[in-house]
Amino acid sequence: MASIKRKQVRELKRLASTSGSADALLALLDRSIKFGHKRLALRRWFEAEKQGVAVPQASRDYCERLMEGMPAEVIRNLCLQCGLLDSQGRLAEFNAMVSG
């Protein structure tokens, strides 16, 4: 992936948040992985999965490995930020996402 400038990142974030653009979501996830932004990579993975984007297996594997070394509370907070918690505070969408 070519280097993305800040202005381009802002545009990708806008596209991801307003239209759920799969290309934008994946580009942001790839960038987060490339730069070693662990929490941000997980958050972007959760957002992409929530939007139904087909995340490449290598990216999924990377994010799953990140979660193995993270405290449960950090993961829970990321899921909360992404709206993946159900009304009971359970990780229903998250559990379905990683097991399916």
pLDDT tens digits along 8-61: 999 999 998 888 889 999 999 999 999 999 999 999 999 998 889 999 999 999
Domain ranges of the chain: 6-99
Exposure string over 23-48, b if 16+ CB within 10 A, otherwise e: ebbbbbbbbbbeeeebebbbbbbbbb
Compare 51 and 93 and report the one with higher pLDDT.
51
Among residues 6, 4, 63, the alpha carbon closest in space to that of 36 is found at 63
Q: What are the pLDDT digits (tens) for 53-87?
A: 999 999 999 999 999 989 988 988 888 888 777 65
